[in-house]
Structure 1
Amino acid sequence: MPIPFRVATSPLTLAFMNLRPRPLAAAACLLMASIGAAPALAQTAPLQASHSYAIAPGPLDQALYSFARSAGVTLSFEPELVAGMHTSGLAGHYAVDEGLARLLSGTGLEGIVGASGGYRLRKTVGSASGALPEISVSAERSADTEGSNRYAPTAVTVASKIPMAWKDVPNSVTVITRQQMDDQNMTSVEDALRQSVGVTAIPYGDGTAYFQSRGYASEVQYDGLPANSSLQYLRQFNLAMYERVEVLRGPSGLLQGSGEPAGTVNLVRKRPQLTPGISGSVSGGSWSNYKGDIDLSRPLNDEGTVRGRIVAAGEDGAVYKDKGHHREGLAYGILEVDLTPQTTWAISAASQNDFSRGTDYGPGVYTNGSFVNPPRSAFFGVDWGTGNQTSNEFFTELKHRFDGGWVAKASYIYRHASSDSIYGYVNGLVQLNNVASYTLQGQRGNTTWQDLDVNLSGHFSLLGRTHQVLLGANYAQRDAYSASGSRTLPGIDIYDIAIPRTAIALSSGSNTYSEQYGLYAQTRLKLADPLTLLLGARESWYASRSQALLPVAADWKSTPSVNNKFTPYAGLVYEVTPAVSLYGSYSDIFSPQTQLAAGNAPLSPRTGEQYEIGAKGVFLDGKLNASLAAFRLRDNNRAVTDPDNPGFYVTEGRVESKGWEAEVSGSPARGVDLYAGYTRLDTRYLSDPVNQGKVFSPEEPRHTFKLWTKYQFQQPALSKLQAGFGARIMSQTNRGVGMQGGYSVFDAQLGYRIDAHWLATLQVTNLFDKTYYARMPARFYSVYGEPRNITLTLRAAY
């Protein structure tokens, strides 16, 4: 009986075609017909990249199973061929061929590659061999980046529930790997997305941020479960909990359901490892900021069928303002159990508390339209203001691998966040004598998200070729309570805010509830050896309602629901050479609207549709990824004022977002790790009675370049040293009241490898202490980018 292990990514396949999808009724019939087809395990050729191995000495058959999982290959051998044999194990980084040869050293066996790309064991040439029954160690492709020591991903899950080779995805996808997170000492989702090509990360001033991509707010998923909520203004768990961050740009309606056409960010949690390990770091930096984390993973029984992992992380320190403090603590634990050799159950829980003192949204502009431009250290909040949020999460997953390579999976996540805050801010234009209105505000709220997904994936044979199919359903629910109150004080000197502690009564509040569910299907049809067609479709249902609670409780009020919303997807991948391919794709998404047409009729949802073409390449035996993409995105059916019926709306608004992106990640030379990308973006109102022809998303730069590179010195005398360099270069931006010119921010790092387990780094962000606005001034509010920050980190791994 085949034993499932992870499979390596297949050779590069890409395509180029501007494909306009038609109704996918025929595709749906094909998908349903495929379920009746006999499933067959598709065997893929191994990617000759370096993999990390930690295989202990012991029986050879068990070592071969571990090798197949780590290398991601299909490996077949006769049981009698290895009976009674032992191996001295394998530790380190090797290509598949070299690693297998080392593991088999002294056994009289060798591995050969079959026509399908899988490996088979035989006695070395010249030895006798009998005709024995063969068993297969099959595999499931993995998208994990942990332990790979790579910046270049091999596979992703954000575009399909099936781990799909990065090079085979006909859309723009960036992966911030675990290695890059560690190298740049990232601790927050904001840190990771600030480095991602095509994403603009903007701090809000209260410890949260909002993220823009291709003109719109990014959606979020957790291990592929859509949260029925955007990523904006939400405190997320510390990155110590996550194995990678996947960023899909462009409409993601096939698996997301409703949402904005920006795309989605998939946060993928760490899982227990097969071998024991412990790692952690401590750091101290500017403004007395201290951080630390510890990560322990190990099998919990001799057979390795029960595995556990715990992660703890914390931060404590001030900010660059004259006043302000932040404290954070995370605890995360996960357990995986192999109920049978083919069934795995996982369960995890996480809790994090974020406490801040001194929220500061900054000032805006003077009454004459000029920026206030205070010193970066100036504080415009109230020093007694506080914000406190507690986030809890429960996650469980059951996965069963059938004979023949089919996989069924059910996942559920429950997240709850509660917050309580009181703060003050400059509210309105500032007089030339630095006097403005000032608002004190108190807020309280809690939000619960529940998400469920079930899916079945596998391979089937049709017309002599092997194809792939995914069928699934998911459900997402969001239930939120929020209440607030405020008090406005006139004539406050913004440079002398001496307001005593004040209690703020909650005067307004509401409950909101939304839910959506949908059925989705996706197939990858191998039309010819170099040509793959991807077709997908989703049918969605969405509903929401709200209830006013303060000052007077009211009945629930439902907004227009969306029923049987059809969302298509299509892509084509064409392999030009084994290393370079071209692709084209069409993707779609919808977003419900609450405005009403004349006669109180509901408006149809907004729809976002994107055409994208591009090329992807995997070079240097899989060590280096490169991509180039061009896109045109249309946001249709936008609500605009009905000129014939004041107070009502029509769906005649349109926005266009277009541009191109280039990205490189991986290791272009020995000792060099690199992530670099450029984005050119143009957004514009195509049809709007007020904003016709204007830029739609002026906070996003037209030109953005991002770079991070690390070099491990190769000269023997300097072999313990490494150096890092980063840059973020932006063109001009504005938020409606004035323009900020382009700017550049540079980072640098110097590291010393104490021994195989310990590494010390000295990192300087904003090396030249550039003064710039991370959030541009509007009528009020503005946030400076962080000044020069020096951090010393000590990192260990065993």
Structure 2
Amino acid sequence: MKKLLNLSFMILISVFANAQTGSIKGLINAKNGGFLSYANISISNTNHKTLSNASGEYNIDGIKPGEYTVVVKFIGYKTAKKQITVSANTTTKVPTFILTENQETLEEVVLDGHKKNSYAAKKPSESLRLKTPLIKIPQNIQIVNKELISDQATFTMMDGITRNVSGAQMIEHWGSFARINMRGFRIAPMRNGMNLTTSWGPLAEDMSIVERVEFVKGPAAYMLASGEPGGFFNVVTKKPSNHRVAEVNVSAGSFNTFRGAVDYGNTLLDGKLQYRVNFMKSTQGSHRDFEKTDRTSFAPALKYLFTENTSLSAEYIYQKVKMPYGGAYVFGPASAGFASLDRDFTALEEDFEETDMKEKNLYANFTHKFNKNWEIQAQYSRLDYEQEGMSPWAVWGSVQENGDITRYVSSADAIIEIDATQLFVNGSFNTGNISHKILAGVDYNSKDSWHDWSQSAVIDQTPFNIYNPVYGNAVFPDFDRSKSVKDRSGLVKYETLTKGYYLQDEIGFFKDRLRLSLAGRYTDANITRDATEEKAALFTPRVGLSFDILSDFTVYGLYDQAFKPQTGASKTNEVFDPEIATDIEGGLKKTWFNGKLNTSVTLFQITKDNILVTDPEDANFSVQIGQVQSKGLEFDLQGQITPELNMVLNYANTNVEVTKDSDPTLVGTKVAGHSKHITNGWLNYHFNAASKLKGFGLSLGYQYLVDRSSWAWATDGQDPILPDYFRLDGGVSWKNDKIGVRLNVNNILNKYLYSGAGYGDYLYWQTEPGTNARLTVSYKF
């Protein structure tokens, strides 16, 4: 009986307490029209919080009577607040919140049916570490966002991304990874700020997992200093967020191309747990026979918010590709010149063994904000890559004038393991009227790779004639794979270990109108190939100056360095210094139409010193007197000209040549891996809501390269070996809030396009397809 009385008493207290509470309800709208789903609503100094529903409505119950502040947050919009009074046993209707766009972050946002249709970006991603807007950073940084990627129907990193950045050039290779040059040098591939550079990788990212691609030109000591001085590109993958994402894309195209992708994300636990999953499956043929590529990607991601200031994120990326490795290469006698074969010709066989490539990438990030001025981030990335297959080539000296060649294949097996860790701090403070933005960090990067190219065999019993090909007579070997690649004899092993320590102070004068960046990085690099070891430890300074001529118009200058360890034999057994590349550049940056359009002009000069050249007194040894210099001009335009018209336009003039050598005849010769002139353009026009063609859009773009080279410039070092390159592409589209349809047509002029180089007494090249098309249908649910 006593227990029953106690229970009744507790129930009465509960009912009474509940009767002394109130509730609120309201609506969240956007200023530019429409409601905002899944906005974060909270009541200050309480634990009450919720999300708006699919119609932008919300309600919160169980609030004690009193005066409160209701706070509404939504990514891409400015935070809004309203004062309310809650009464007992009453539902208070909060005046409708009308959120305005936050121009600083809006380019990142895709809301349900409200896509920000602009190619312009204002800030770098978090993975670039910098907190300064792009226009005020003293360096040429260009960003390709997902709107542009979608409009161009880009499938992978090798699929024309470079057309959106001045001077960026894809160099043909085995067909599995993006080898990109800028300013005449290979640039490092990064993913979420982690350096994944290897000799043959990483696997090209599928665009279904990509949010944006950032191109940083020239050395950038705040990210890395060891490597070539052309810069790097940073692939930023799609992240979880506090708004719902739900989209399906289905594509079909020429050469039996079929592709499907799903992107879904949402929140749990009152928004504390955010998740996102991307899945893609595709199969794609080629204009050449026997060349099919199957690709799969799966990328789940989680983010947990412990508090508003502390979060932990984790991503897993799985990519699998199956394709004939290097199957695009064809060979011909030098006397016949390039393009002496039909564009659709192949040197492959139907039973050529396809290569399997699998990549697993784990990425984790911990972020804690101490206050509004200081935060710390710790990141870790692990990449595991496995490859098994074969690659084709022509036997040296076998390419005859009559078209006879002897083909051979070699094993193309590899294992790559990369561990990368970063810890960095961002902070800001003032000393009097002078502001300081601090970036300090530590990097650790370990790469180990094992490659088996040692097994090879001739597959032609009699010569294969490229002018009169007969298929089906090749005999393929059965390579010995009884042991792991790591345990095989004849393998090649690479080991790279770099440790870096970095400190930067961006000092602001005259209310931050003038900014001076003083920075330095100390890097310890150790590179080993089999028994050969290359070591170097070096401090590299960085000095940048940026000045606001107007609030949206800046001028800047930059001094930065990169280095690369090297080995070689000197006659006196001296240890060679590392190659050191010094970049001096300056430019102008201007935004237009309230930040909707970005433009920049840059002049640069990169000088590489300490290059090893042949000892003039003994050809068996080297001396360290070589020098290469890269000079050029770059112009970039990206963004919105009118609400209907988006545009990309760029141009680069680049000249890379030998400026010092032990052989005077080599001074002035061009260095392969660049084009003297590159210009690209892309226009995308969407008819406005008042037009009878509402929802429709048109696109047109071009790529034009003049005086170009890939792996070799020319036999005389002066005249380019490759002809000029011009490609015209276009598209037509239609969309509403839920459905999008886009048809892209590439190589409209049906030109014979290719890239290649000379190889002794013969040529090799890879052709692009003639006119081809892709149709993509997207649905948001």
Mind listing any 5+ residue stretches in structure 1 that lack a counterpart?
Answer: 1-48, 98-139, 548-556
1:615 aligns with 2:588: yes
Q: Tell me the SS of whatever aligns to 1:181.
A: helix
Contact 2:586–2:604 (Cα < 8 Å) also in 1: yes
Aligned-partner Cα distance in 1 for 2:633–2:86: 54
1:321 aligns with 2:288: yes
Q: CA, structure 1 residues 669+369, in 2 after alignment: closer, same or farther (shift >3 Å)? A: same
Corresponding residue number in structure 2 for 1:396: 364
Q: Which amino acid aligns with 1:337?
A: Y
Corresponding residue number in structure 1 for 2:457: 487
Corresponding residue number in structure 2 for 1:133: none
Aligned-partner Cα distance in 1 for 2:577–2:110: 44
Aligned-partner Cα distance in 1 for 2:323–2:442: 39
Corresponding residue number in structure 2 for 1:726: 701
Write out per-residue CA displacement over residues 110-156 of structure 1, whole angstroms, 9 at most, x where no aligned residue.
xxxxxxxxxxxxxxxxxxxxxxxxxxxxxx97984666432101101
Corresponding residue number in structure 1 for 2:392: 424
Contact 1:144–1:244 (Cα < 8 Å) also in 2: no
1:311 aligns with 2:300: no
Q: Tell me the SS of whatever aligns to 1:256.
A: coil
Corresponding residue number in structure 1 for 2:681: 707
Q: Which amino acid aligns with 1:242?
A: V
Corresponding residue number in structure 1 for 2:239: 271
Aligned-partner Cα distance in 1 for 2:127–2:215: 10
Corresponding residue number in structure 1 for 2:434: 465
Q: Name the count of aligned residue pairs.
A: 694
1:746 aligns with 2:716: no
Write out per-residue CA displacement over residues 82-122 of structure 1, whole angstroms, 9 at most, x where no aligned residue.
9966354558xx5459xxxxxxxxxxxxxxxxxxxxxxxxx
Q: How does 1:614-693 map to 2 (within 5 A)?
A: 614-690=587-663, 692-693=666-667
Deviation, structure 1 residue 785: 2.3
Q: CA, structure 1 residues 685+630, in 2 after alignment: closer, same or farther (shift >3 Å)? A: same
1:474 aligns with 2:439: no
Contact 2:438–2:503 (Cα < 8 Å) also in 1: yes
Contact 1:254–1:567 (Cα < 8 Å) also in 2: no
1:764 aligns with 2:732: no
Corresponding residue number in structure 1 for 2:412: 443
Deviation, structure 1 residue 401: 0.5
Contact 2:610–2:626 (Cα < 8 Å) also in 1: yes
Aligned-partner Cα distance in 2 for 1:157–1:51: 28
Corresponding residue number in structure 2 for 1:221: 190
Contact 1:364–1:777 (Cα < 8 Å) also in 2: no
Aligned-partner Cα distance in 1 for 2:341–2:310: 60
Aligned-partner Cα distance in 2 for 1:202–1:627: 25
Deviation, structure 1 residue 50: 8.6
User: For structure 1, which segment, 762-771 or 355-364, has the greater mean C-alpha deviation from structure 2 after superposition?
Assistant: 355-364
* Length-normalised TM-score, structure 1: 0.82
Deviation, structure 1 residue 790: 0.9
Q: Tell me the SS of whatever aligns to 1:253.
A: coil
Q: Tell me the SS of whatever aligns to 1:186.
A: coil
Contact 1:382–1:424 (Cα < 8 Å) also in 2: no
Aligned-partner Cα distance in 1 for 2:85–2:433: 33
Contact 2:75–2:109 (Cα < 8 Å) also in 1: no
Greater relative contact order (CA < 8 Å, ≥ 6 in sequence): 1
Q: How does 1:64-463 map to 2 (within 5 A)?
A: 70-71=75-76, 86=94, 88=96, 94-96=100-102, 144=108, 148-157=116-125, 160-191=128-159, 192-229=161-198, 233-301=201-269, 303-357=270-324, 359-366=326-333, 368=335, 370-371=337-338, 373-385=340-352, 386-428=354-396, 430-463=399-432
Aligned-partner Cα distance in 2 for 1:438–1:383: 14
Write out per-residue CA displacement over residues 249-278 of structure 1, whole angstroms, 9 at most, x where no aligned residue.
111234213110010111111111212120
Deviation, structure 1 residue 158: 8.2
Contact 2:645–2:683 (Cα < 8 Å) also in 1: yes
1:544 aligns with 2:527: yes
Q: CA, structure 1 residues 176+168, in 2 after alignment: closer, same or farther (shift >3 Å)? A: same
Mind listing any 5+ residue stretches in structure 2 that lack a counterpart?
Answer: 1-30, 44-48, 53-68, 481-487
Corresponding residue number in structure 2 for 1:46: none
Deviation, structure 1 residue 460: 1.0
Q: Tell me the SS of whatever aligns to 1:669.
A: coil
Corresponding residue number in structure 2 for 1:502: 477
Contact 1:455–1:473 (Cα < 8 Å) also in 2: yes
Contact 1:395–1:411 (Cα < 8 Å) also in 2: yes
Q: Tell me the SS of whatever aligns to 2:335.
A: coil
Contact 2:321–2:357 (Cα < 8 Å) also in 1: yes
Deviation, structure 1 residue 394: 0.6
Aligned-partner Cα distance in 2 for 1:80–1:609: 63
Q: Which amino acid aligns with 1:791?
A: R
User: For structure 1, which segment, 171-180 or 698-707, has the greater mean C-alpha deviation from structure 2 after superposition?
Assistant: 698-707
Match of 2:671 among 675, 692, 697: 697
Contact 2:177–2:203 (Cα < 8 Å) also in 1: yes
Corresponding residue number in structure 1 for 2:59: none
Q: CA, structure 1 residues 76+275, in 2 after alignment: closer, same or farther (shift >3 Å)? A: closer
User: For structure 1, which segment, 320-329 or 781-790, has the greater mean C-alpha deviation from structure 2 after superposition?
Assistant: 781-790
Q: Tell me the SS of whatever aligns to 2:641.
A: strand
Aligned-partner Cα distance in 2 for 1:325–1:786: 14
Deviation, structure 1 residue 642: 1.8
Aligned-partner Cα distance in 1 for 2:670–2:317: 38
Q: CA, structure 1 residues 709+372, in 2 after alignment: closer, same or farther (shift >3 Å)? A: closer
Write out per-residue CA displacement over residues 277-316 of structure 1, whole angstroms, 9 at most, x where no aligned residue.
2012111000111111110000022x20101000001210
Deviation, structure 1 residue 442: 1.5
Q: Which amino acid aligns with 2:190?
A: Q
Contact 2:144–2:212 (Cα < 8 Å) also in 1: yes
Aligned-partner Cα distance in 2 for 1:55–1:401: 27
Q: CA, structure 1 residues 560+205, in 2 after alignment: closer, same or farther (shift >3 Å)? A: closer
Q: CA, structure 1 residues 145+476, in 2 after alignment: closer, same or farther (shift >3 Å)? A: farther
Q: Tell me the SS of whatever aligns to 1:502.
A: coil
Larger Rg belongs to? 2
Deviation, structure 1 residue 588: 0.8
User: For structure 1, which segment, 788-797 or 491-500, has the greater mean C-alpha deviation from structure 2 after superposition?
Assistant: 491-500
Corresponding residue number in structure 1 for 2:64: none
Aligned-partner Cα distance in 1 for 2:683–2:561: 35
Q: Tell me the SS of whatever aligns to 1:155.
A: coil
Match of 1:535 among 480, 501, 518: 518
Deviation, structure 1 residue 239: 1.6
Write out per-residue CA displacement over residues 476-534 of structure 1, whole angstroms, 9 at most, x where no aligned residue.
01011111211235733232353033224586213221101011011110122321111
Q: Tell me the SS of whatever aligns to 1:767.
A: coil
Deviation, structure 1 residue 602: 2.3
Contact 2:741–2:776 (Cα < 8 Å) also in 1: yes
Contact 1:421–1:442 (Cα < 8 Å) also in 2: yes
Q: CA, structure 1 residues 486+685, in 2 after alignment: closer, same or farther (shift >3 Å)? A: same
Contact 1:60–1:85 (Cα < 8 Å) also in 2: no
Q: Which amino acid aligns with 1:236?
A: A
Contact 1:158–1:248 (Cα < 8 Å) also in 2: no
